[in-house]
Every structure is written in C-alpha cells, then in structure tokens.
C-alpha cells in the first residue's frame, strides 16, 4: 500500500483520493467496460452498514462530494468532505472499496447507466480522441479497441457479470495496488494513523495476482486523424515500460516548465496555444504535448526532435527527487483537482516503476522516444487576419476597483496586482500563445468561455500591462462555439451576467487604461460565422427546471440549504427511479438574482421527461420544511477558496453576478431559522419558476 499526505492548515475541507492501480486495459478483453462498471457499482451499491445508503447518497447527506474515474491503467475514487468528518468519510469509502456488496440489481441498474453515458458521450471530442488512441495501439493489444462499455458489450447475463466483477475486484482491489492520498488541515500524525487504518481494510496481495507492470501497447502506426472543433496536433511520446518514480516526477517537472512558456520561441506563429502533460488521460503511459493551431509539418518535426531530446534527459540518469512538500502547479485554481491529478500520477508511477529494478531504463542518443501524432481537423477555424469585423459604437464599461475583501481570504492578496475583464455575448480570442507569454513573464492568465460571454483575468506583477497587451492583440467573435455536454451548457445559463463589458482592477489608477482597452476591443466585433464539425450523433435534450429569487442574503442561504438537501433525493429519483437520463443533478448559482437548477439530459422523447421533472421538483418543494431540519450545517455547506487565484475568481464572479460579496464571506449573522421559515411560506410569491430546454441541434427555449 502506498500513502501520501499533505498538510494545509487553511483548508476547511479535506480531499482524499483512493487510487487503484488498475484500469480498463486490465479488464478481460471480452468484456469492454467491466472496470468502468465496477467503479459504478462500488459508488452506488448499498453500504454494508446501511442497506438504503450508497456512497453517493452518504456524501450528499454529509455535505461532501464524491466522484470516480476509470482510466486506462488506474481507477480513482476521490472525495471532499468538511474536515471534522474526514475520518468517518475516509473509512466509509475505504471499507466500501475493500469489501463491497455486489448485487445483481445494482449491476443491472449500472449497466443501464453506463449505456446512457455511452449514448450521451460517444460522439464527443473526448471519445473521438480515445478512438484515435486505440488505432495507434498494437492490433494485438487490448488497447486497440474501445473500452468504454455499453449495454451491448456488457451483455445481459447478470450472474456472469457478477462473477466477472467479483474476480476483477479480488485480483486488483487489494493492498498491493491501493494508493491513498489525503490533503487536509488535520495534524500529520493523525492523518498518518488514518491512512494506516484505511490500509488495513484492504486484503493483502493475493497469490497469483496479475502483475503490476504495464505491457507496452503502442503499435507502428505513426499518426491518426481526429475530427475536432479546431485544427490541432497532439504528440504522444510512449514512456518506457520501466521508469523509476524519480524519473517520472522529473518528466512531470518538464511538463510544468513547458507550460510556463518555455516553448514559446520554438513554435510557429500559427500555433495558438499548447499544453504539456505527463500521463494524460486515456494515454497515461505517455508524455503529451497538445498544440492548437496549424503549422508546417517541417516545423512540427523540428519541434518533435527538440522535445524528444529534452524528454530523454530525465530518463538518461537516475535523478534524485529532493521534494518533501507537494506544491500545486502555478495557476492552480482548485486545490482538490490538482491534488487528485497528483495522486493519480503517483499511482501510475508505481506501475511504471514495477520493472525498474530488473530493467532500468537509461536511453542513449539514438534511442530517444519517437512520438505518435493525433492530428485534429475542423472545417473552420478562427483566423484573426481573415475575420470580417465592424466598428461598433464604443460601449459603456462597468468598473470595480479595489480589494472587496479578498485579502480576508488570503493575506498575500493585499500586495497583489490583478486585472479582470468581461465581454458579454461574445467569444474572446486571445492572440497566439498569449497566456504562455504571460506565464513566462511571471503573470498568471486565466480565461473562461461561458454561454453568455467571456472573461479573462491576469494576476501578478505587471498584470495591468499584460492585460492591455492581451486586449490590444485579441479579437472577439459573436459566434460562441458550444463546449461540453448539453446539460453543462444549460447550467451555465443559471449565472446572471452583465449586458455590458466590465472591468475589475486591484488599483484604481489602472482602471481607465484597462477600461479603454476593453472598450476598444468590444467595438471590434468579428462577424465571421463559426462552423463546428458535423457529427452524426444521437439526438438528445437537456432540460432544467429553475427557481430564481431576487438574491437577498437569506434567499441565497436558503438555496444553499435546498441544494444540499435535494441533491441526493433528486439524483435518486431522476436517474434511478424514473430513468430520466444519464445526467441528473442539482446546481446553484449565487448572485442577485440567485438560482437553483434541477437538470437532466435525455435521449428519449423530451416532453414526457419534462413533465416528470416538473413533478419531481414540485414534490421536493412540497416538503420544503425538511430543508430547515439541520440549519447548523450551513457552516459546512460552502468550501472557502483554497488558493489565492480561486479567491480572486470567486470575488470576480460575485461582482459579475450582481453581489459585492461571495456567500462564504458574507456570514450568517443576518440569517436565522425564523427568516428562512418565513421565506419558505412565501416561496411562490418571491420565486420565479422556469423550464429551460436545449437540444443537440442547438435550439434553446425557455417557458414559465
């Protein structure tokens, strides 16, 4: 068993990852989707201590969150929980993973859930990429086929599946493959003891268990084509079958270095952006460099040779890793997400190191790794020089200046410079490699595209100058390329955003120059239409019922409680009791107004699903007094920002949504049970109910 921990005293929540060194390339070749199915069963099967509660419902009841992901060579279950519930949560999850109850009814339900997931995702860009990766694999390797799984590949022989799941669990979910990683505010000694207790719940390595080492999968095909939304190339350097942990960590450091702008001078001007990753999802036994844009093949081949030599360096020796403290990569917003990635990578490093003692890998100059290419093509891309543009009237720019209390979250922000800009109803198109140039100069740059517009923020010394340069060199286009599942796009519409451009700067002296630059950019609107690839996917519809309130502090807290109280019940009823679709979730938007959305995504006839969604939400609110049963849990309901950048983004989103202070900093002094009770009795007069519809053709409608 492998254990890792980090101490972060400022956290209010603990984040735990339990990673199993087994994925879909370890499952029987005749049962695609078995590893994925086991992940589903483990999180939805009844707990041993409570036949009516699964892991998912347990976490909804304890103000936490839990998710899981099956990758090619690792599977991880990760959770976030209020710190004072860490021990109970961690032991509950470890016990369920170690000794689950695998029942035929749960298997049957989760086969249907995986099939619905397959129907929703099979034509997505992520699945297109995985399909291309499969074509690059050796035809004799299990990786040469699609391993997602669906009702057809898993079949309907439930007892055969039960036997296969039991065998797969016994062979892989044991102490020889388990890694536990915890970051929390708790004392190191206490967390160490907790990890040890969790480890004892897993069985020891069984006799004749499958080998931990990875079998090389890559074939001789040099490249594969992928249909995408933009021209791009992803270079995948296969890792040797034996790489020490220190060598793997050195490769991760190379990726971090590249992402800080190290490659800017090596790239053609037509490359818009790039991102380097050690162990990317779907190809965790590789090093990836993804390039967005176009470049002559000769330039790409020069880059390939340059990076092949750069990657060979950490593999040519046995480097010593002197790091004793984990640090998130520069520009990290969500600490939990960065920690979970690190935990997965360390579990993978354990597999890569399995053969190191017998076969240490030290390449010579003539054995540099040669990458495979994933070549993405799209019918239309943004080309700034060709975009038709018109000059609009210079718009009014809304502005905010100063701290707004962010230094209360992180004292370091009192001496930090930042600039943030928002453009409504348009897509912000930064100049090629703009974010990487910022990173190279020590300025963090984050960009977010939403259904209602775009925002960008720069942070660090020189942030104002960097923002002026970004705005001067950028373009905007009124056509917004849709991204993500239909349900995700619909949820974005929950957030109220300004109808005019907006700016927030740390220092008032910088406001005028940034506002002028933003107004100038907003007046140059590109009118070229954007085409996305035509993919013959199955028709589906996302439906969301929303409750909106004006946004007083009491109303905002009420929706926090409602989200917390309704999440588990809505998920159970929408997904399992009534089979409304793969996606079923409750999502909240804080602001003025504040909103709560109940969203599903279905491939069935949308009208009956919409009616059932209406009846489910009506029933939940008819028992609304239950929301107030545990008012003391309010303090656990929100996760405070865990990084300085997250604190800035949270405040920025709060300003854009019409409130001066985010809810976590507002406090509960103005909220009490009587006020909440009074609001509940008047919910129909204060609240505005609507139903939103978005189908796979892009048609959006809303009705009361």
pLDDT digits (tens, 9 = 90+) for 202-239: 999 988 889 888 888 999 999 998 876 678 999 999 99
Phi (first) and psi of residue 490, to 5 degrees: -70, -40
Distance CA 3, CA 180 (A): 5
Which tokens hold the place of 614?
A: 């209406």
pLDDT in tens, 239-263: 987 888 888 988 999 999 999 999 9
Q: Return the pLDDT at 388.
A: 47
The CATH code of the domain at 541-703 is 3.30.830.10
Q: How high does pLDDT run on average in the chain?
A: 87
Starting from the edge strand earliest in sequence, which strands make up the sheet with 418-424, in order? 398-401, 502-505, 418-424, 453-459, 444-450
Confidence band of 384 (pLDDT split at 50, 70, 90)? very low
Residues facing residue 289 across a β-bridge: 235, 276
**Helix extents (H) in 259-375:** 297-315, 335-352
Which tokens hold the place of 337?
A: 């997400």
Q: Return the pLDDT at 321.
A: 60
The CATH code of the domain at 223-377 is 3.30.830
Does the structure show a pLDDT above 70 at 268?
yes
291 in Cβ contact with 267 (< 8 Å): yes
450 in Cβ contact with 499 (< 8 Å): no
Of 8, 645, 649, 2, whose CA–CA distance to 327 is shortest?
8
Task: State the architecture of 2-200 in CATH terms.
Answer: 2-Layer Sandwich (3.30)
CA atoms within 13 A on the CB side of 85: 19
- Segment 602-618 shows an average pLDDT of 93
Confidence band of 534 (pLDDT split at 50, 70, 90)? very low
Distance CA 442, CA 260 (A): 8
Peptide bond into 684 cis (omega under 30): no
Burial 273-293 (b: 16+ CB within 10 A, else e): bbbbbbbbbbbbbbbbbbbbb
CATH 3.30.830.10 domain residues, the chain: 2-200, 541-703
CA atoms within 13 A on the CB side of 37: 33
Q: Return the pLDDT at 370.
A: 85
Distance CA 456, CA 421 (A): 5
695 in Cβ contact with 540 (< 8 Å): yes
Task: State the architecture of 389-526 in CATH terms.
Answer: 2-Layer Sandwich (3.30)
Q: Tell me, what DSSP letter sits at residue 384?
A: T
Residue with tokens 């679709």: 581
- Segment 28-55 shows an average pLDDT of 92
Q: Return the pLDDT at 583.
A: 85
Helix, strand, coil shares, percent, the chain, to 5: 40, 20, 35
pLDDT in tens, 385-411: 344 445 456 678 999 999 999 999 999
125 in Cβ contact with 233 (< 8 Å): no
Which tokens hold the place of 657?
A: 């949504």
Of 176, 204, 182, whose CA–CA distance to 89 is shortest?
182
Phi (first) and psi of residue 552, to 5 degrees: -70, 160
């Amino acid at each position: 068993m492998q254990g890792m921990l980090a101490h972060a005293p400022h956290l209010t929540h603990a984040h735990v990852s339990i990673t199993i060194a087994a994925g879909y390339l370890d499952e029987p070749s005749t049962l695609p989707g078995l590893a994925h199915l086991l992940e589903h069963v483990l999180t939805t099967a009844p707990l041993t201590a409570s036949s009516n509660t699964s892991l998912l419902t347990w976490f909804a009841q304890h103000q936490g969150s839990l998710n899981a992901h099956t990758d090619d060579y690792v599977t991880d279950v990760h959770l976030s929980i209020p710190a004072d519930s860490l021990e109970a949560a961690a032991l509950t999850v470890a016990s369920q993973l170690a000794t689950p109850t695998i029942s035929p009814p749960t298997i049957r339900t989760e086969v249907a859930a995986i099939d619905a997931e397959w129907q929703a995702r099979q034509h997505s860009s992520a699945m297109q990429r995985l399909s291309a990766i499969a074509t690059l694999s050796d035809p004799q390797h299990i990786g040469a086929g699609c391993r997602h799984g669906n009702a057809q590949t898993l079949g309907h022989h439930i007892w055969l599946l039960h036997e296969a799941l039991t065998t797969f669990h016994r062979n892989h979910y044991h102490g020889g493959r388990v890694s536990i990683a915890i970051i929390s505010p708790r004392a190191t000694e206490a967390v160490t003891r907790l990890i040890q207790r969790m480890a004892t719940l897993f069985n020891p390595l069984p006799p004749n268990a499958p080998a931990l080492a990875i079998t090389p999968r890559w074939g001789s095909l040099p490249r594969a084509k992928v249909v995408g939304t933009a021209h791009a190339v992803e270079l995948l350097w296969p890792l040797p079958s034996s790489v020490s942990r220190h060598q793997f960590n050195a490769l991760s450091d190379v990726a971090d270095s590249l992402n800080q702008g190290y490659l800017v001078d090596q790239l053609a001007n037509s490359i818009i952006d790039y991102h380097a990753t050690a162990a990317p999802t779907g190809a965790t036994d590789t090093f990836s460099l993804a390039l967005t844009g176009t470049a002559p093949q000769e330039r790409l081949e020069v880059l390939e040779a340059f990076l092949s030599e750069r990657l060979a360096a950490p593999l040519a020796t046995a480097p010593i890793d002197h790091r004793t403290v984990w640090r998130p990569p520069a520009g990290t917003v969500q600490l939990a997400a960065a920690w979970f990635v690190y935990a997965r990578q360390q579990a993978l490093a354990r597999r890569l190191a399995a053969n190191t003692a017998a076969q240490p890998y030290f390449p010579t100059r003539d054995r540099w790794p040669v990458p495979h290419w994933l070549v993405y093509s799209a019918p239309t891309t943004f080309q700034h020089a060709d975009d038709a543009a018109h000059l609009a009237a210079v718009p009014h720019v809304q502005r905010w200046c100063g701290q707004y209390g962010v230094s209360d979250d992180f004292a370091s922000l009192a001496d930090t410079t930042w600039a943030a800009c928002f453009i409504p109803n348009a897509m912000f198109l930064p100049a090629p490699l703009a974010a990487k140039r910022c990173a190279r100069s020590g300025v963090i740059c984050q960009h977010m595209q939403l259904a209602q517009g775009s925002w960008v923020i720069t942070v660090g010394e020189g942030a104002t100058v960097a923002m002026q340069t970004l705005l001067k060199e950028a373009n905007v286009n009124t056509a917004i390329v849709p991204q993500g599942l239909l349900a995700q796009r619909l949820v974005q519409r929950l957030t109220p955003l300004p109808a005019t451009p907006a700016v927030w700067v740390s220092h008032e002296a910088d406001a005028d120059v940034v506002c002028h630059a933003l107004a100038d950019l907003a007046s140059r609107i590109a009118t070229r239409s954007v085409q996305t690839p035509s993919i013959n996917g199955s028709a589906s519809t996302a439906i969301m019922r929303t409750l909106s309130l004006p946004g007083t502090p009491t109303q905002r807290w009420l929706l926090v409680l409602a989200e917390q109280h309704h999440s588990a019940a809505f998920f159970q009823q929408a997904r399992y009791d009534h089979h409304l679709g793969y996606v079923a979730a409750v999502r909240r938007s804080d602001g003025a107004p504040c909103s709560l959305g109940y969203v599903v995504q279905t491939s069935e006839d949308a009208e009956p699903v919409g009616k059932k969604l209406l009846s489910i939400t009506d029933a939940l609110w008819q028992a609304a007094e239950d929301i107030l049963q545990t008012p003391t849990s309010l303090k656990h309901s929100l996760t405070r920002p865990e990084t300085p950048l997250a604190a800035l983004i949270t405040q920025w989103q709060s300003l854009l949504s019409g409130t001066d202070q985010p809810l976590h900093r507002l406090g509960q002094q103005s909220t009490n049970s009587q006020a909440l009770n009074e609001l509940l009795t008047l919910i129909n007069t204060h609240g505005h109910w609507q139903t939103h519809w978005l189908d796979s053709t892009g048609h959006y409608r809303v009705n009361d």
